[in-house]
Amino acid sequence: MTFEQLNIIKPILEAVEQEGYLTPSPIQAQAIPVLLEGKDMLASAQTGTGKTAAFAIPIIQGIYNNRDHNTRLHDIKALILAPTRELAEQIKDSFRNYSRNLNIRTEVVYGGVSQRGQEKALNRGVDVLIATPGRLLDLLGQKLIDLSKVAYFVLDEADRMLDMGFVHDVRRVVVSIPKERQTALFSATIPKEILKLADELLNNPVRIEVTPPEAMVDKIKQSVFHVTKKDKINLLLDLLVDPKLASVLVFTRTKHGANKLVKDLVAYGVKVNAIHGNKSQNQRQQALEDFKKKKLRVLVATDIAARGIDIDELSHVINYDLPETAETYVHRMGRTGRAGLSGEAYSFCSQDENSLLVAIEKHIKMALPVNEKHDYHVSIRLNAESNIPVKKPSSSTKNTNRSGYNANKQTGTRDAYKRYDQPSRKPKTDKKSDSEPLARFRKEYIAKEANADDQFKFGNKKKRVTPSKSTFNSPKPSNNKIHRRFDEDKPISERNSKIQDTYFKSTKKSNRGL
């Protein structure tokens, strides 16, 4: 099948040919005819399958055929919502490329940057608007944008929208657009939450499912490296020695972890940069452009920032930290092996990440091959839920401590059940506790209090002073004359004279050095 057979107008065909596309992908071949007929659609397609063109081409053709060519007014006819800034920029570039031969204006609005430039673009007129939910709601609240003439509505990466908590924002946006519209919902996975959202937004949709994500993963060469947390950086440096790792995308779980990894790699002379939520949009865009132009060999990213990274020739993806959800692993793998090209994916797994590895293998329905050909390989204790057989300790060893590994005193060896990334417990010593003097002091004080109570009972009724909480920890009074207590039976005048003599003596001694 060719693009000409999909009833696409000539200006768009010329633009598609200039982009280097000769035949439509499976998602394009099925989605474009449905959208050209004006039907709603629920599509499941993995990133890298050409789904952006699948909804961009029909929308551009619909706007061009239904517009009044005698007027220069540009009202928002199409609204596309994306979860991240990078994905919004990618969609904007696709719309502009496919409509380069038509008088259709495409703009993008998202947070993290000043909205002054976005306001100017909206005032000049826009036909297609790509937006993130947060900034779009801000502009709607300020009455700087009008969505009353929207005829096409697309929700891209709907599953990621749910993960990021944008569902309520999406519902607020839907209230501002006309009910009579054509709606398309694209998602890499279709859980029950997506089906519920589709029932609210779509009207008798056509459901299309092309290339399940698990099938995409099968085309990528995968392997897992069992390594301790502290040796992950050393393993990564050893892998980067291989020139085959020309362009590497490394995933970390946190923004702090991404910054720390970049700092360590830069110390060894690796050309690397990071993109995550704390980076400004200009910094993220510049790092992504440098990576695409081969100015950077390694790009470190978090899961949220990685959505929308469209790199055709990405050789390797490395999971420096395993993702917390198995679906995220599939999304990470979708960064490589795009458009039918080959790719490789490495995953670093420490002992505390073993449960995440088991969940990933269960989700993709395959066991990841373990690569032991490196200097930092350790044996990981597997959970009982895993389908991979667990090596049991030999029957000759009887003594096993609470950590789970053999502690044979004769050989002094430890088998594969050792938790390598956790420090061993320190043995108890015979050293006396530091709190023993304090305990002895409290014991003596309690005995004195008991004697005072006895004296109080038998008629020696002296006023007892209740000690403060700091009595136990306060130091003993020194022998200095200033702190010496005088007998209460002496006259006040004699006590005052002694205090004054002591004061003058101390001042004379302190003035000798002046």
CATH label of the domain that carries residue 267? 3.40.50.300
Q: Average pLDDT in the 267-278 region?
A: 88
pLDDT on residue 20: 81
Q: Is residue 471 part of a domain?
A: no
Asked if 246 and 315 sit in the same domain, the reply is yes
Containing 133, the helix (H) or strand (E) segment is: helix 133-141
Instruction: Please state the domain count of the chain.
Output: 2
| Mean pLDDT to the nearest integer, 266-287 | 86
Both 222 and 327 in one domain: the answer is: yes
Phi, psi of 92 (to 5 degrees): -60, -45
Which of 506 and 86 is assigned the larger pLDDT? 86
The answer to whether residue 417 is domain-embedded is no
Q: Is position 477 within any domain?
A: no
Dist. CA 338–CA 251, nearest whole Å: 18
Residue 130: inside a domain, yes or no? Answer: yes
Residue among 215, 255, 242 nearest 316 (CA): 242
Place of tokens 């996975």: 189
What DSSP assignment string belongs to 446-481? HHHHHHHHHHHHTT--PPPPPP-GGGTTSPPPPS-G
Looking at 190, 211, 232, the residue that finishes a domain is 211
- pLDDT, mean of residues 355-377: 89
226-230, 329-333, 336-340, 506-510: which has the minimum mean pLDDT? 506-510
Asked if residue 429 is part of any domain, the answer here is no
pLDDT in tens, 453-492: 555 444 444 444 555 544 445 455 544 444 444 444 555 5
* Domain final residue pick, 176, 194, 211: 211
Structure confidence at residue 386 as a pLDDT band (50, 70, 90):
very low
pLDDT at 159 over 60: yes
pLDDT at 327 over 80: no
Q: What is the pLDDT of residue 237?
A: 92
Three-state DSSP state, 267: helix
Looking at the fold, whether 204 and 220 belong to one and the same domain comes out as: no
Q: Which residue has the higher pLDDT, 441 or 413?
A: 441
Report yes or no: 279 and 255 within 8 Å, Cβ to Cβ. no
Stronger pLDDT, 158 or 62, i.e. the higher one: 62
**103 pLDDT more than 90:** no
Indicate the residue type of 221: K
57, amino acid identity: I
Q: State the Cα–Cα distance between residues 167 and 159, nearest whole angstrom.
A: 10
- Kind and range of the H or E element at 106? strand 106-109
Distance of CA 372 to the CA centre of its chain: 28
Residue with tokens 């910094």: 283
The answer on 206 and 278 residing in a single domain is: no
Could you tell me if residue 262 is inside a domain?
yes
Residue finishing a domain among 185, 211, 237:
211
Q: How far apart are CA 265 and CA 52, in angstroms?
A: 34
Which two three-digit tokens encode residue 26? 């499976």
Confidence of residue 417 (pLDDT cuts 50, 70, 90): very low
Residues 126 and 232 in one domain: no
Residues paired with residue 222 on neighbouring β-strands, in sequence order: 345
Give the pairing type, strands 272-275 and 298-301. parallel
Residues 86 and 25 in one domain: yes
pLDDT at 422 > cutoff 70: no
> What's residue 407's pLDDT?
39
54-76 CB burial, b ≥16 within 10 A, e <16? bbbbbbbbbbbeebeeeeeebeb
Burial of 303 (0-12, 13-18, 19+ CB in 10 A): buried
Check residue 469 and report its DSSP letter: G
Q: Are residues 61 and 193 in the same domain?
A: yes
Statement to judge: residues 167 and 18 lie in one domain: yes
Judge contact between 298 and 272, C-beta under 8 A: yes
Measured at the CA of 190, the angle between CA 198 and CA 153, to 5 degrees, comes to 40
> Are residues 186 and 272 both part of a single domain?
no
What is the rounded distance in angstroms from the CA atom of residue 377 to the CA atom of residue 231? 9
Same domain, 11 and 124: yes
Whether the CB-CB separation of 55 and 35 falls below 8 Å is answered with: yes
In angstroms, the Cα distances linking 418 to 53, 134, 351, 374, 376 are 52, 48, 10, 19, 15
* pLDDT band with cut points at 50, 70 and 90 for residue 505: low
Average pLDDT over residues 119-145: 92
Segments forming the whole domain that contains residue 287 = 215-364
Cβ neighbours for 292, distance < 8 A, ≥ 6 positions apart:
311
